[in-house]
A and B are shown apart, each in its own frame.
Chain A
Amino acid sequence: MSELCDRTVHELIAGLRQGEFESPDIVNSVAARIAAREPTVNAYITRLTDQALEQAGKLARPDSSSSALHGIPLAIKDNICTKGVLTSCSSNILHNFVSPYDAHAVSCIKAAQGIVIGKTNLDEFAMGASTEFSHFGAAHNPLDLSRVSGGSSGGSAASVAYGGAIAALGSDTGGSVRQPAAFCGVVGLKPTYGRISRYGLVSFASSLDQIGVITRDVVDAALLLEVVAGRDERDSTSVNVPAGDFVPQDNDIQQIRIGLPRECFVEGLDPGVRSSVQEMLTAIAPHCACVSDISLPRLPHSIPTYYLICMAEASSNLARYDSVRYGLRAPDCATLEEQYERSRGLGFNDEVKRRILLGTFGLSKGSIEEYYGTGQKVRTLICQDFEQAFKSVDVIVTPTTPTTAFRVGEKLDDPLAMYLGDIYTVAPSLAGLPAISIPCRARVNGLPVGLQIIGRAFDEKTVLKVAYAFEQVAKWPSGQGV
């Protein structure tokens, strides 16, 4: 049997219930792994292993009626507020910000008796795709330390991948849960916009931000989603849709029609990634109703559309970091203007500044129609593309990323190349649709490949069921036929 820190939530809950081990055993196992791996991976900004152990010690042995996450150590991305704990967003401007409140999702986890084991590294304010743009240093890929963990939820994905947490919360604005999950070989689910309250998630792009879950398998993603989903009065954009039972009961997908957007399997897609995804599709095809080509004609416009909107919203959301009430304040400023300029100048990194500047420009008089306005119009068209597609298929499958994890430093000086890596993940974000990334069976040069499944709004159930079926396929040994 594997070490406790390498097991899934549902395996551990079963083990706890059967009395094979106790919660402190799990926390100890995870803490030992963190101690061993953190010096090279750097997945965590704040480790809470001592507090976690104390909490675990207080928990009684679970029975069949105990809460869903009883005694399970989970990691929280450091842009999600945790009461009494540093919530830095990996930014110098919030290097000392201790949140006085818990985010809704964190409250849900605590109510389900989950244990917060630490706060994970990210690209500053979730702006990035490699977790290199962090005030606390890059988070490396635990499968290959010379490569990035992905981003922006790189710390969450890396911790789950190396056994530093059993599961984690991340946030996904244009792929920030799915892409690092793909790079680190774990499962990353971004639910429908509005499914999980954003209260306490530090805003980057409000109309796109959504909390997501990063886990070791599909069942865990469903379990964790059940805990954190639901309407919250404190988030007016959270939706009152019954959460329901997300955990797949079987892998019967005979009725499911799978669509493959032809715009996704084109130039720019790494041949290794393509064949890895293709192999999964070939394996699943006999088990579902059909696998057919579809078209999302506006998909090629999704990158510029996404960046127009997210930068505009970011420029607005980050205006509150003015050094007046909390966070970094530059010393010895003579005037208010100087205080603003120097504090924000010191507080934000180049990538954040780039986005604030471009977003500010995009909202300016004389530019807003051309940039933000056009972005919104194309966004509507992209939504329509999906609506059209979902008339003939039940889920849409794409690669999660065009390549596997790239090398640390490789794209640091080429923001555009970094942005283009989001090609498959941003479209469902623009349309607010649920999407999951699961690892393909075949790796490329030892690096994991993610397969993305996109569903209809609020149809996480189907997405998870199809993901579960793919997961079964991926478990087959290499070369074995269907």
Chain B
Amino acid sequence: MADKRTLDHRATGPLGHYSGYELVIGLEVHAQLKTRTKIFCSCPVGYGGEPNTNVCPVCLGLPGVLPVLNDEVVRLAIRTGLALGCSIAPRSRFARKHYFYPDLPKGYQITQYLEPLAFDGWLDIPGKRVRVRRCHIEEDAGKLIHAGASSMVDFNRCGVPLIEIVTEPDLRTAEEAEVYVNNLRRILQYLDVSDADMEKGHFRAELNISVRPRGSNEFFTQTEVKNLNSVRALKGAIEYEAKRQIELHGRGESVKKQTLLWDDRTGETAPMRSKETAEDYRYFPEPDLPPLVIRPEEVEQIRASLPELPAQRKERYIAKLGLSEYDASVITADPAYADYYEKILKAGADPKPAANWLTTEVAGALNEQGIGITEFRVKPEAIAELIRLVRDGKVTGKVAKDVFAEMVASGGNPSAIVEAKGLGLVQDDGLLSRTIDEVISAEPDMVARYRSGKTQVLGALVGAVMKKSRGKFPPQKVSELLAKKLSE
């Protein structure tokens, strides 16, 4: 760290997006682990609920109570660590982080400071491997509710289990930070360790950011930005801080190492009131909890139970199912979406048409209705059946789209819709033969051209037959029989 240094702005011209500077960004993400009970007591973890209803002597920090670690929290944290390629510490410790605030009942937060549960991992984003420095578990604090001149505290969130995931300063742009955050959320959802819902506060990001001249390997003074409750806020804060810090450097002033709060309303960062930032947390090992010892067998057991992660799934879709990079990305972006896709395949559909249907028609319908795949009334088995109808020549691709629209509207079964609406292809060979004969007599010019070797007119003749049948003859059969009759 070169804390009190300033950059010589004359050395760097106004080149590119950041005028010759590059950003150095690290993220600290807090995600709520999906457990039934809190981290150190047996109170239920609930969202919403009347204030101070999910509380007990332990999470209220009454005199004489002691924390007892929830095993499920440890299991979920190990799952997360492994999925991020981390090493799992055979022995880690909890520490107390001290500061006074009314939402912190004990006057300290129990966290893992020097010895985290998981460390040295990574998460890939396009074109870059972002190093994950550490993942550790800790307890959440309560919430202040301000009402006029007085303030009240709701302790329901107190003791809700969190995992903190800290990157190395490997990110360089707001876009990279966005992709990292989205990928991380997806992984947590895939692992089923967190809902990672930013709106509900299940997933909160903190930003560490500094700037330096492009090409430099040095680290300059960074600022920390809190209160980022959306990806938009994160990107906004990065852009704002980048501009602010670059301007400071440009004026020859130094960036102050401080903690800032992002304000969604103004789109600016502002220093936290100094009393909200403790100078010294006085970390020391939590004497009420023995060291957390994880046996290697336990780690291996959890590793074996890990689900396929988005990146692995995408690879498999490309390599084994022959999907395009684009289709594979779109489908694996959401685990529920990919699960839906695999159910279509399981019901007998081929991978490519299934992917086409999912990324076009299904995606369109979801978009139109503004719902997620789990709320979609059309079942994957019905999509598979529709694909089968097309494959077997029962309906044309065009008709299938109408059938799909009807499925979306009524929730009906595709075969039944085809039957009821008379959308099925006409399999009457006599009628087909007669219709072809009619077209041959009605189009002598084209027939003559065909017979003179201009076989490309066949398409137009097929079209004429189809038009007469309102699209209900199987196109393949029309084409074959027409060619046969023309050759006679």
Q: Give the residues from 249 to 284 in chain B that come closer than 8 angstroms, CB to CB, to chain A.
A: 275, 280, 282, 284
* A202 and B57 contact, CB distance less than 8 A: no
Q: Within 8 Å of chain A (Cβ to Cβ): is B475?
A: no
B161 to chain A, nearest CB (A): 16
* B284 and A237 contact, CB distance less than 8 A: no
Q: Cβ of A320: which chain B residues have Cβ within 8 Å of it?
A: 61, 63, 105-107
Interface string of A327-371 (1 = CB under 8 A from B): 000000000110010000000000000000000100111001000
Q: Which of B62, B66, B107, B108 has the most CB of A within 10 A?
A: B66
Q: Cβ of A364: which chain B residues have Cβ within 8 Å of it?
A: 280, 282
A244 to chain B, nearest CB (A): 23
Q: Cβ of B20: which chain A residues have Cβ within 8 Å of it?
A: none
Instruction: For B66, give its contact among A235, A313, A319 (CB under 8 Å).
Output: A235
* A325 and B61 contact, CB distance less than 8 A: yes
Q: Within 8 Å of chain B (Cβ to Cβ): is A46?
A: no
Contacts A103-B64, A201-B64, A316-B96: A236 and B288 contacting too (C-beta < 8 A)? yes
Give the 10 A-B CB pairs with smallest separation, nearest first: A319-B107, A206-B287, A363-B282, A207-B287, A202-B63, A200-B64, A81-B64, A320-B61, A202-B64, A320-B106
Q: Cβ of B68: which chain A residues have Cβ within 8 Å of it?
A: 233-236
Measured in the bound complex, the distance between the Cα atoms of B281 and A365 in whole Å is 8
Q: Which of B57, B107, B153, B280 has the most CB of A within 10 A?
A: B107
* A97 and B280 contact, CB distance less than 8 A: no
* A336 and B64 contact, CB distance less than 8 A: no
29 contacts between A and B (CB under 8 A): A87-B63, A87-B64, A94-B63, A103-B64, A199-B64, A199-B66, A200-B65, A202-B63, A203-B66, A235-B66, A235-B68, A236-B67, A237-B66, A237-B289, A313-B287, A316-B96, A316-B98, A316-B107, A316-B108, A316-B284, A319-B106, A319-B108, A320-B63, A320-B106, A320-B107, A324-B102, A326-B62, A340-B100, A368-B284
Q: Give the residues from 289 to 309 in chain B that come closer than 8 angstroms, CB to CB, to chain A.
A: 289-290
B280's closest neighbor in chain A, by CB? Answer: A365
Q: Cβ of B60: which chain A residues have Cβ within 8 Å of it?
A: 325
Q: Give the residues from 148 to 202 in chain B that come closer than 8 angstroms, CB to CB, to chain A.
A: 153
B466 to chain A, nearest CB (A): 76
Q: Cβ of A368: which chain B residues have Cβ within 8 Å of it?
A: 282, 284
Q: Within 8 Å of chain A (Cβ to Cβ): is B69?
A: yes
Give the size category of A's interface with B: 35 or more
Measured in the bound complex, the distance between the Cα atoms of B321 and A70 in whole Å is 75
Q: Which of B62, B69, B105, B275 has the most CB of A within 10 A?
A: B62
Q: Within 8 Å of chain B (Cβ to Cβ): is A303?
A: no
Q: Cβ of B96: which chain A residues have Cβ within 8 Å of it?
A: 316
* A236 and B69 contact, CB distance less than 8 A: yes
Measured in the bound complex, the distance between the Cα atoms of B107 and A103 in whole Å is 22
Interface of A, helix, strand, loop or mixed by DSSP: loop
B101 to chain A, nearest CB (A): 8
Contacts A100-B62, A101-B57, A319-B100: A312 and B275 contacting too (C-beta < 8 A)? no
Contacts A237-B290, A319-B100, A320-B107: A372 and B284 contacting too (C-beta < 8 A)? yes
Contacts A101-B57, A236-B68: A337 and B275 contacting too (C-beta < 8 A)? yes
Q: Cβ of B153: which chain A residues have Cβ within 8 Å of it?
A: 324
* A236 and B289 contact, CB distance less than 8 A: yes
Interface size of B by CB at 8 A reads 28
A372's closest neighbor in chain B, by CB? Answer: B284
Measured in the bound complex, the distance between the Cα atoms of B66 and A103 in whole Å is 11
Q: Within 8 Å of chain B (Cβ to Cβ): is A322?
A: yes
Measured in the bound complex, the distance between the Cα atoms of B63 and A177 in whole Å is 20
Q: Within 8 Å of chain B (Cβ to Cβ): is A89?
A: yes
B99's closest neighbor in chain A, by CB? Answer: A319
Q: Give the residues from 52 to 100 in chain B that come closer than 8 angstroms, CB to CB, to chain A.
A: 57, 60-69, 96, 98, 100
Measured in the bound complex, the distance between the Cα atoms of B68 and A237 in whole Å is 9
Q: Cβ of B282: which chain A residues have Cβ within 8 Å of it?
A: 315-316, 360, 363-365, 368
Give me 5 other A-B pairs in contact (C-beta within 8 A), A236-B67, A316-B107, A324-B153 excluded.
Answer: A101-B62, A200-B64, A236-B288, A319-B98, A320-B105
A337's closest neighbor in chain B, by CB? Answer: B275
A330 to chain B, nearest CB (A): 15
A94's closest neighbor in chain B, by CB? Answer: B63
Measured in the bound complex, the distance between the Cα atoms of B57 and A234 in whole Å is 12
* A203 and B64 contact, CB distance less than 8 A: yes
B99 to chain A, nearest CB (A): 9
Q: Cβ of B105: which chain A residues have Cβ within 8 Å of it?
A: 320, 324-325
B476 to chain A, nearest CB (A): 72
Q: Within 8 Å of chain B (Cβ to Cβ): is A135?
A: no
Instruction: For A199, give its contact among B65, B275, B284 (CB under 8 Å).
Output: B65
* A312 and B102 contact, CB distance less than 8 A: no
A138 to chain B, nearest CB (A): 23
Q: Cβ of B98: which chain A residues have Cβ within 8 Å of it?
A: 316, 319, 363
Q: Within 8 Å of chain B (Cβ to Cβ): is A99?
A: yes
Q: Within 8 Å of chain B (Cβ to Cβ): is A198?
A: yes
Q: Cβ of A89: which chain B residues have Cβ within 8 Å of it?
A: 63
Q: Cβ of A81: which chain B residues have Cβ within 8 Å of it?
A: 63-64
Measured in the bound complex, the distance between the Cα atoms of B275 and A340 in whole Å is 13
B103 to chain A, nearest CB (A): 9
Q: Cβ of A312: which chain B residues have Cβ within 8 Å of it?
A: 284
A352 to chain B, nearest CB (A): 14
Q: Which of B63, B64, B68, B107 has the most CB of A within 10 A?
A: B63
Measured in the bound complex, the distance between the Cα atoms of B61 and A318 in whole Å is 11
Contacts A316-B96, A360-B282: A236 and B64 contacting too (C-beta < 8 A)? no
* A236 and B290 contact, CB distance less than 8 A: yes
Interface string of A183-207 (1 = CB under 8 A from B): 0000000000000001111110111
Measured in the bound complex, the distance between the Cα atoms of B62 and A103 in whole Å is 12
Q: Give the residues from 125 to 158 in chain A that come closer than 8 angstroms, CB to CB, to chain B.
A: none
